[in-house]
A and B are shown apart, each in its own frame.
Chain A
Amino acid sequence: MSVFGQFLRFVTGSVRIVTRGNALYWTWILSLLVMIAIGATAYVHQMQTGLISTSMRDQVSWAFYIGNFTFLVGVAAAAVLLVIPAYVYHWKPIKEVVILGELLAIAAIVMCALFVLVDVGHPDRLQHLMPGIGTLNLPTSLLAWDVVVLNGYLVLNFTIVTYLLFMLVRGKHPNYAIFTPLVLLSIPWAIGIHTVTAFLYNGLAARPFWNSAILAPRFIASALCSGPAVLVVLMQLLRRFTRFEIQDAAIWKVAELMAYAMFLNLFLLGAEVFKEYYSGTEHLIHMQYMFAGVGEHDAIVPFMWTAVACSFISFLLFLVPQTRKNPITLNLGCGLIWLGVYLEKGMGLVIPGMTPDTLGEIYEYQPSRTEWLVAMGIFAVGFLLFTLMVKVATPIMLGEFRVAGDEHAHAPAKPATA
């Protein structure tokens, strides 16, 4: 069969896979679709009335959308960084870890792009960012750099995953001379996307809260918590619902590494808190706004303490071997980590950085209904994309979906074992 013919069968086979599933699967898909529809409606409303339908104003001109964007860049970066322990500890399903990580990265980058799209005032002018038609303001604009590295990362991950899956589906071994360098390139690139995103804030001397040299390390540390949390849950789900075999040891190892990452994250936060409170300059006010409120303005204080509590509890849960090996506390920890990092990045980074504004005014920001709904829609798009991709990738990885010969005869299944 020609490569083209195989590709066609790959596509039709994939369509068949995603359109077949049990009631649970369809409930999940349909609820995601409903959420997407609600989000899209909210976005249309925002397009018509303008960004006034968000709670952003001149004083707090970036907020929830950009915070979500930042959080998801972290997820995208960390998903790929999981390749490192997979290599170091010689986990058997290494290809599978790579594939799942990169699929998650793709879904996360798509969500990132959507969050930027909904945040800009003129999405109809994004061609101004395109080299050739527009003027990408390199090298000085960090957002321009972010556009470059994020798109590059998307292309890179997409290439790796498509290549791997397409080889596997034809029952061939990937050519390691191509595959290994690409995977190795994706690791520094993953660090790169999160560093550039940190620099986007970090470089702004006007905002002392962000203008701290440990911002980029903090970003990486928190990302190393939130990204693996998704994969730990996913690996357990796959193990339960498919023939996919993943050793407990691998999962526990990830959880242990997450504990170290969380320690680093809390340590860096502590360093930041010490510097601000001990030196007590006029810049302290942003951190005060975050943890104690300023005057009667304390809308985000509960969120921030929740974030700290989540991070701290999950750190303990993952540090103590008994709790990280217990499936209940393990998954609880993953949930808490996700929530903790989400609040920290989604709320705790952008909003206190902008409050009070550069002339000292405090405008108390809280996401509007439109912002919540649009964000929900974008997350639903990401989860939908990720679900569909994993749905197709899983039988390929298990050797159940092949296009080389007769795909219904079970291929000489060599299930991935750990």
Chain B
Amino acid sequence: MNAPDTTRRDFLCTLAGCAAALAGACGDVTHTEFFRSHFKELTPEDLDGILKKIERECETKYGKDVDVKNTPAREGVQFAYALDISRCVGCRRCVYACVAENNQSRDPVVQWIRVLEMDKEKGIDFEHANPYYDAETVPRPGHTYLPVACQHCENPPCVKTCPVGATWKEPDGIVVIDYDWCIGCRCCMSACPYGARRFNWKEPSLPADEMNPNLHVLGNRPRPKGVVEKCTWCVHRVRDGRYPACVEVCPVGARKFGNLLDPSSEIRYVLDKKRVFVLKNELATHPRFYYFYGL
């Protein structure tokens, strides 16, 4: 603990800070922010102001030009994802590519994708899964690898439980979080059956030279402490017609992504030709993330 007098000073500062915040006039909590409306009700001008503010903040903090987009969902697009378990070798390249692409905290380590090593004989058995295996020695004989991230459920329990509506499903199927609206109560983490959500237990750290400046307001922009985050299927890329970073990096091509409404898409091919399944089917969350054994 701190020395007594610093503690006392800190305590007074915080008290004053709270009072000021309540008055809506404290430091970086401006009056407009305090009375800001929910993301979906923002006027275009307000939204623009918010994007500009994030850009300014990032430029000061990381010293580089950043672009914060708000690319909305496109008409006629419904995203879905498929993963071939028989190809995945458990190398965790997707995990690291995701961290780099989405500006996850390096310390504490935040990773949106978790790869579980499982005993082939036991099938999909979370109870005996090991997420901390050594990725240098994969694939180990007798084991399969199951990467898990947000399943972008059709019927997302996380969205249902959020007391302030800070997380929702977009028209193209991506479940997003507004990091400026989240109060950090973690109801959504309790509700998610796939352990997909991460909380910023302390101020995330992100080295400036590793920061990805291509940002989306509901996606990979740097997050503050005290809010929840998770995979967004690289909303900043996929809405511009690119693949998520994990799909691109996978060395064995185990990851497939695309528009369900486009008959020529890879995802449609997988759904038509392979027998797919979803995790924890019995919970009726209806994931948009399918697994299959392609070989």
- Pairwise interchain contact B202-A122, C-beta atoms closer than 8 A: no
Closest A residue to B191 by beta carbon equals A204
- Pairwise interchain contact B181-A121, C-beta atoms closer than 8 A: no
Given A61-B189, A125-B183, A361-B131, also A134-B194 (CB < 8 A): no
Cross-chain contact of B11 among A41, A119, A356 (Cβ < 8 A): A41
Number of chain A residues close to chain B: CB under 8 A? 55
State the CA gap A148–B186 with chains docked (Å).
18
Inside 8 A of B10's CB, which chain A residues have their CB? Answer: 44-45, 48
B227 at the interface (CB under 8 A from A): yes
User: How far, in Å, is B208 (CB) from chain A's closest CB?
Assistant: 21
Closest B residue to A205 by beta carbon equals B283
User: How far, in Å, is B58 (CB) from chain A's closest CB?
Assistant: 20
B261 at the interface (CB under 8 A from A): no
Inside 8 A of A172's CB, which chain B residues have their CB? Answer: none
Number of chain B residues close to chain A: CB under 8 A? 56
Interface string of B26-43 (1 = CB under 8 A from A): 000100001100100000
Total A-B Cβ pairs within 8 A:
159
Given A58-B189, A144-B163, A358-B192, also A206-B11 (CB < 8 A): no
- Pairwise interchain contact B181-A356, C-beta atoms closer than 8 A: no
Interface string of A289-313 (1 = CB under 8 A from B): 0000000000000000000000000
User: How far, in Å, is A201 (CB) from chain B's closest CB?
Assistant: 8
- Pairwise interchain contact A359-B200, C-beta atoms closer than 8 A: no
Interface hit among B44-52, B63-71, B154-162: B154-162
State the CA gap A390–B162 with chains docked (Å).
38
- Pairwise interchain contact B165-A359, C-beta atoms closer than 8 A: no
State the CA gap A204–B164 with chains docked (Å).
17
| Among B29, B182, B226, residue most surrounded by chain A Cβ atoms (within 10 Å) | B226
User: How far, in Å, is A280 (CB) from chain B's closest CB?
Assistant: 13
Q: Give A contacts to B, CB under 8 Å.
A: 40-41, 44-45, 47-52, 56-59, 61-62, 116, 119-129, 133-137, 140-144, 147, 200-201, 203-207, 282, 285, 354, 356-361
Known pairs A121-B182, A141-B160, A354-B190; list 14 more (Cβ under 8 Å): A44-B7, A51-B202, A56-B201, A58-B189, A59-B195, A61-B199, A125-B182, A128-B164, A129-B164, A140-B160, A141-B163, A358-B126, A359-B126, A359-B195
